[in-house]
Structure 1
Amino acid sequence: MKLAKLSLRLRIFLAMILLVLLASILIAGVTIYQYNEEAHDYHQDRLNRKEENIKASVEYTIKETTYPVIKENVPLIFKDEIYEIATIHNMEINLYDLEGSLLKSSKASFAADSIPKCLDADILNTLSNTLEKRYINNTIENGEGYLSSYSVITDQKFKPLAILHLHYLENDDFLNKELNEFLERLGYAYIIMLLIAIVLAYFLSKYITKSLKTISDKMNETRLEKRNKKIDIDKTSEEIATLVQSYNSMIDELEESAVKLATSEREQAWREMAKQVAHEIKNPLTPMRLSVQSFQRKFNPEDPEINHKVDEFSKTLIQQIDTMSSIASAFSNFAKMPAQQNETLNVVKIVKLALDIFNEDYIVFKASEDEIVAKFDRTQLIRVVTNLVKNGIQAIPENSTRTPEIIVEVTSSDKVVNIIVSDNGKGIIEENKPKVFEPKFTTKSSGMGLGLAMVKNIVETYNGNITFTSQEGMGTIFKVTFPKE
């Protein structure tokens, strides 16, 4: 799982737990390093102290010996004393001549075979070339660490006699035991600390992200088409407060922009509607003007056909006036939002009543029941049916060889009512299907294209919906569905 995909709360939680774990590992590492350094210093100091004490014993032996103090007599001088000194100081002691050859060892003869018979050239060079005349190195024997100290011993006149070798065992059992006990106690302490950190991290991350969660939820609920609530959070951090303030400012700007956009859209819609109405009204005005001008120019009271001409002229004017009246009615009906009267009525009876105004004998009515009761406004229901039937009548071609047929069917299922209007007209082409319910869209030479838009508006006001299926050249089926209550 990528870190970027984790929530902020989980990242804060994991970061705090990781911090505690890293701290425990770091402290354990520092502790082990410190113990090792202390152990090294302890053995170094202990070796130095033993070396000083042994040298003091060696100097005393040289002082009290009866043998002449020369290089050749060193094995005789320390013949028995070397064992006594090694026993007192609990230290392995070896004596080498100045050329690096073994002279005497405190080890038993059968164990002395493991002692180097001759020193390395590096040791001899260091002893001869340094002011301290001393050399220390670390060795590993049988899995145990040893410190080896090499120093030059002198006679009372400070003349070099031999090389003193001390073999010191670095026994860390006691220190390792202390280290293990300390690490064990530290482990218990950090387990308790880790549990506390987990609980603290959980609540702290929850507290930190609570405000962010509130802001996130509010942002997800933000919509342009509704009034959005501002965020009100008390006692929060300065950063969160700044974020909340920015969000609230954005809400104010969004609301102001929404108002401006809605106003602009309404103005634009009415401008377009006004243009359409003006265009539709101009269409019948032009033939009216031409008819009046023609009648005025050709008017002759003595013409024997004058009555017939006046009658034709009047019919033309009346026809164009009716066209303008229908345009005005369509615009008025569309502009007026349907009121929800919620009358309890028999949908079958109302649909029959709506069909009575049509004289076409190819309109067929069907109903699954004699009575289907629903709550709907009577006038609006009639308007829905008449507009759908008119649309079907206008969809039938004038010169079609097929027998026209429009079927209006009313059915019900569970809690909904279905009104289905189907025709065998010319159908709707694919490119026009998305535009069917758009205001002003029409494929007819007259009318404003508001009928189906008005039907959709009415049906959706009553929590219903309208759908259609159409096949070009075969016909169209409109289906209106709305709840009974």
Structure 2
Amino acid sequence: MGLRFRIFLGMMTVVVCALMATGYVAYRHGVDAEGSYNAQRLLRKEAALQRSLSYMLERLGGEVDQDSLATVFTDRICELADVHSLTFSLYNREGQLVTTSLGPGNDMDLRLSGAVLDRVRGGDARVALGDVANGTEVVWPLLANDGALLALGHVHYDPRESEEADWRAFLARLAPVYLLLFVLVGLLAFSLANSIVRPLRKLSDDMKLDPLGRSTNATVSYRWRDEIGALVDEYNHLLKRLAESMEGRAKLEREGAWREMAQQVAHEIKNPLTPLKLGAQHLRRAWEDQAPDFDERLARYTQTTTKQIDALSDIAEGFALLANDGLGNTEVLDLGDLLQDVTYLCEAEGVTLSNLAVEPALVRGDRTRLTRAFNNLVRNGLESNPEGEASVAVTLATDAGGAHTIEVKDNGKGID
């Protein structure tokens, strides 16, 4: 599971949990509000019933005989029950049922419990019996003018329940908002996950590169100054230090190579100089001694000196070529003309040139280096045979694709 998916999944989980929590809180708020409304509604209905009975009792002089309670209050109780949509009953002071708004065959208790009677007689103005059969029962005393207990009013209140249609309408209004929030948060989570993962992925890809192939231009760009930005800055700093270290190491390696090359060149130069010095000393001694073979010694010394000077010249040319590691002075030149110049001076020694190219063989290169290379090839071919027996054939050809071919053949026997 990738980091991007984990970030996206985490944010979406938080959003879903938040939406569920919001729905639960809204539901609990609705239930609590409904309960508070029912409690206040019951109190209002109780107060209205008490006022109605008290008003009726005052009209009767404030006193009613216990045997006349049903006759006096039945019609009024039924009327009040219909108006307030509840069950209204009346008990005498002994707790026996006198009349009720329910018709015949009702399931009303014929007598109140002793605990309720004791609480009313003890002075409680209202006795709530709690939820009974999904409703609330309340008992309160009806007093005569002299304050004596005349009867007991009993109300069975069925609380108003939240309508399912109301919740459906509420959810119908809330669902589009939740859906829009879900989509917006999903897009935000995806964008945020990409913004976090993108620099990390680029950083990971750069770290997979060969350190020798990196450069200071391969730095990672990240504009935010946060934890990822600190990581990117540290990586860029390390990359810069790595480039500087590699550059310093390459410089040291070049200096070491030149130092070793200088030592080798010095050694190669010293080797020819030693016999030249010894030969000059011997030749001077022979001159001073008037040696009879001085002319022979001079000729031999001259020949040896020439060879050693040629060796020194080759060393100098090779070192100069190594020092100039660039392309040299390149120009467009004709290989036919260049080979003609190389072979012209050597024709007497057995060197021939066959130019098979119909058109000029034009190439771009360094005339000096090419001349030196062909001179060396021709010279090697001539030196591979005894003087007067050498034969070197140089051939230039151009194929249909425009590629030029140069062949240098000699009649030497090669290397034993």
TM over 0.5: yes
- Summarize deviations over 1:197-218 as a string: whole Å, max 9, x none: 999x79x98xx99xx9xx99xx
Aligned position for 2:364: 375
TM-score by length of 1: 0.51
TM-score by length of 2: 0.57
Aligned position for 1:108: 103
Counterpart mapping for 1:456-475 below 5 A: none
Change (3 A) 1:150 1:23: closer
Aligned position for 1:137: 131
Change (3 A) 1:127 1:274: farther
Report the Cα distance in structure 1 between the residues aligned to 2:150 and 2:75, rounded to whole angstroms.
21
Amino acid at match of 2:368: T
8 Å contact from structure 1 (residues 228, 251) kept in 2: no
Report the Cα distance in structure 2 between the residues aligned to 1:188 and 1:385, rounded to whole angstroms.
87
| Higher share of residues assigned helix | 2
Q: CA deviation at 1:327?
A: 0.7
Report the Cα distance in structure 2 between the residues aligned to 1:120 and 1:310, rounded to whole angstroms.
156
Aligned position for 2:158: 168
Change (3 A) 1:278 1:357: farther
Report the Cα distance in structure 2 between the residues aligned to 1:16 and 1:365, rounded to whole angstroms.
83
8 Å contact from structure 1 (residues 348, 370) kept in 2: no
**Of 317, 336, 353, which aligns to 1:329?**
317
- Summarize deviations over 1:385-411 as a string: whole Å, max 9, x none: 5678999999x9xxxxxxxx9999866
Q: CA deviation at 1:381?
A: 3.4
How many residue pairs get aligned? The number is 380
8 Å contact from structure 2 (residues 81, 87) kept in 1: yes
Aligned position for 1:91: 86
The share of aligned pairs that are identical, in percent, is: 25
Report the Cα distance in structure 2 between the residues aligned to 1:121 and 1:283, rounded to whole angstroms.
137
Give the secondary structure class of the aligned counterpart of 1:339.
coil
- Summarize deviations over 1:133-166 as a string: whole Å, max 9, x none: 3233376xxxxxx4x2233333525659658342
Aligned position for 1:274: 262
Aligned position for 1:52: 47
Q: 5+ unaligned residues in a row in structure 2: which ranges?
A: 385-391, 410-416
Aligned position for 1:152: 139
8 Å contact from structure 1 (residues 344, 376) kept in 2: yes
RMSD: 6.8
Aligned position for 2:389: none
Amino acid at match of 2:315: I
Change (3 A) 1:15 1:4: closer
Change (3 A) 1:387 1:304: closer
Report the Cα distance in structure 2 between the residues aligned to 1:289 and 1:106, rounded to whole angstroms.
149
Q: CA deviation at 1:330?
A: 0.9
Report the Cα distance in structure 1 between the residues aligned to 2:98 and 2:381, rounded to whole angstroms.
131
8 Å contact from structure 1 (residues 83, 106) kept in 2: yes
Report the Cα distance in structure 2 between the residues aligned to 1:417 and 1:102, rounded to whole angstroms.
131
Change (3 A) 1:108 1:155: closer
Q: CA deviation at 1:90?
A: 1.2
When Rg is computed on C-alpha atoms for both structures, the one with the higher figure is 2
Q: CA deviation at 1:22?
A: 8.2
Report the Cα distance in structure 2 between the residues aligned to 1:188 and 1:48, rounded to whole angstroms.
39
Report the Cα distance in structure 2 between the residues aligned to 1:421 and 1:170, rounded to whole angstroms.
115
8 Å contact from structure 1 (residues 153, 160) kept in 2: no
Counterpart mapping for 1:309-328 below 5 A: 309-328=297-316
Report the Cα distance in structure 2 between the residues aligned to 1:246 and 1:386, rounded to whole angstroms.
57
- Summarize deviations over 1:423-451 as a string: whole Å, max 9, x none: xxxxxxxxxxxxxxxxxxxxxxxxxxxxx
8 Å contact from structure 2 (residues 129, 137) kept in 1: yes
